[in-house]
Amino acid sequence: MNKRVLCMLLALCMLFSVFLAGCKKKDKTKTDDGENTRAVEQLPFGPEAPAAVKAALEEKLRESAMTPVQKYWDDESNYGTLVPYDGIVEHIFFHPIVAYPELAFDGDYKESGIDDWMVTVSEYNKILQSLYDKGYIIVNMNDVWTETTDESGKAVMQKNTLMLPEGKKPIIISYDDVNYYEYMLENGFTYKLIIGDDGDIWSWGLDPQGKEVVSQDLDAITIMDKFVNEHPDFSLFGAKGCLCLTGYEGILGYRTHTDKDDTSAEFEANRQKEIEAVKPIVARLKETGWYFGCHSWSHLNLAKASYERVVEDNERWQNEVGSLVGETKLYFYPFGGRLDGNDVTQTGPCFKYMQEQGFRVFASVGIESYSKIKGDICAVICDRLHPDGTTLRWSRSRYLQFYDAADIFDYDVRPDYGYDFSK
């Protein structure tokens, strides 16, 4: 049993014993089992009292189980009147972040890819702070568009009016490849998400000396959790990010995938163990505002994939990942490669298939938070911006609305690949 549940039970017992003590002050001589029953029978309140007390206790329990950000949004007086917002909803995405730059930027063959596509812990912390300072508030991507029917009865997507605290600007944050791939483990990233004794999400990994480290300061997810607990007005009703998962090396650091080359009983037994181990992680992430999207099973370049390949990949994702994280309407193109040959002007057979499978929002990568509701099919296509090494080095101006790369860039630890902050 974890500490949070234990604390809640303890609080419940204390409250109940205080209540009982109050009820039976004059009758506290007997110690046999009959005492409690009689004490309850002699309640000085009306017959409805036990239900009222139960409700009060339940309310206390509910409150004690809430995170600080959940408590903040549970009380309207904290955030005041919400106002409608119909403007652009910005969308940025991260990959896993570099916990140990000395392992990531050590001159091996992975160095330049990590430099291109990742930010360091220090950069990530500064980016979150800057987004917050500039008035952004994280919204859940599922709340931005909804499926509805038009006058003719046809299913269409619609963009919703968001209700935000006055002056706030909405932003979606997504996280690609939150799988803790094998190659990342020796290259300066955390190894997996775990549940700590407090019931919250922590990361587990090894530091450069090989020592075990359990932390909330080294992983994009736990850092975000901490940040919104400290700044609850950064997260609309506790919304965090979308975790976009592949399946070929399991999810969230757990090896839940099948392997066509290893069908041994031993592999399968370990896989089942990993599946059981990841379930509470998924549940806790969902409880605390995280949600999930599909990033294909095999990190497939969908722009080049045949119809058969797209179907096979999706079935495997649904079986091995969807079965663990639940249904999602959100699809995130690996390499930004759009279905049916990257052609956004038409709706090809692969796009139609994925839409029939339940996907409604298809996100690629671009130079702005573009989005378009498709007219011929019930779906939204959109682009995301990408805070990472390439844009920190070469696209400062495009990201100034979020942060200034000159203030963010980790000069001390990144390799000497140059940068141009005049761009």
Helical spans, DSSP H, in 44-169 = 49-64, 68-74, 101-104, 111-117, 121-133, 141-144
Count of residues near Zn ion by CB under 5 A:
3
90, 177, 274, 383: residue in contact with Zn ion (rule CB under 5 A): 177
Residue 343 phi/psi, 5-degree rounding, is: -90, 110
Tell me whether residue 334 or residue 389 sits nearer to Zn ion (CB atom).
334
Q: In this structure, what DSSP letter does residue 335 have?
A: G
Q: Find the shortest distance in angstroms from Cβ 95 to Zn ion.
A: 7
Tell me whether residue 23 or residue 330 sits nearer to Zn ion (CB atom).
330
Of the listed pieces 27-35, 67-75, 333-341, 390-398, which binds Zn ion according to CB under 5 A?
Answer: 333-341
Residue 82 and residue 93: Cα distance in Å, rounded?
26
Decide: is 388 part of the binding site for Zn ion (CB under 5 A): no
Decide: is 313 part of the binding site for Zn ion (CB under 5 A): no
Residue 166 and residue 163: Cα distance in Å, rounded?
9
Of the listed pieces 29-37, 175-183, 185-193, 262-270, which binds Zn ion according to CB under 5 A?
Answer: 175-183
Closest to 114 in 3D by CA, of 137, 140, 95: 95
Decide: is 249 part of the binding site for Zn ion (CB under 5 A): no
For residue 88, the Cα-to-chain-centroid distance in whole angstroms is 21
Residue 144 and residue 170: Cα distance in Å, rounded?
10
Q: Find the shortest distance in angstroms from Cβ 178 to Zn ion.
A: 10
Residue 392 and residue 406: Cα distance in Å, rounded?
8
Closest to 195 in 3D by CA, of 262, 288, 133: 288
Decide: is 320 part of the binding site for Zn ion (CB under 5 A): no
Tell me whether residue 335 or residue 353 sits nearer to Zn ion (CB atom).
335
Q: Find the shortest distance in angstroms from Cβ 365 to Zn ion.
A: 10
Tell me whether residue 178 or residue 392 sits nearer to Zn ion (CB atom).
178
111, 176, 219, 320: residue in contact with Zn ion (rule CB under 5 A): 176
H/E element, 171: strand 169-176
Q: Find the shortest distance in angstroms from Cβ 242 to Zn ion.
A: 13
Q: Find the shortest distance in angstroms from Cβ 299 to Zn ion.
A: 6
Tell me whether residue 243 or residue 408 sits nearer to Zn ion (CB atom).
243
Of the listed pieces 18-26, 173-181, 190-198, 258-266, which binds Zn ion according to CB under 5 A?
Answer: 173-181
Of the listed pieces 131-139, 265-273, 331-339, 392-400, which binds Zn ion according to CB under 5 A?
Answer: 331-339
Tell me whether residue 177 or residue 249 sits nearer to Zn ion (CB atom).
177
CB 275 within 8 A of CB 321: no
Residue list 52-91, contact with Zn ion (CB under 5 A) = none
Tell me whether residue 177 or residue 225 sits nearer to Zn ion (CB atom).
177
Joined together, the tokens standing for residue 79 give: 């955030």
Decide: is 111 part of the binding site for Zn ion (CB under 5 A): no
Q: Find the shortest distance in angstroms from Cβ 176 to Zn ion.
A: 4
DSSP string, 213-255: EEESSSSHHHHHHHHHHH-GGGBGGG---EEEE--BTBBTTB-
Residue 45 and residue 63: Cα distance in Å, rounded?
25
Q: Find the shortest distance in angstroms from Cβ 332 to Zn ion.
A: 7
Q: Find the shortest distance in angstroms from Cβ 336 to Zn ion.
A: 9
CB 393 within 8 A of CB 116: no
Binding-site ranges for Zn ion (CB under 5 A):
176-177, 334
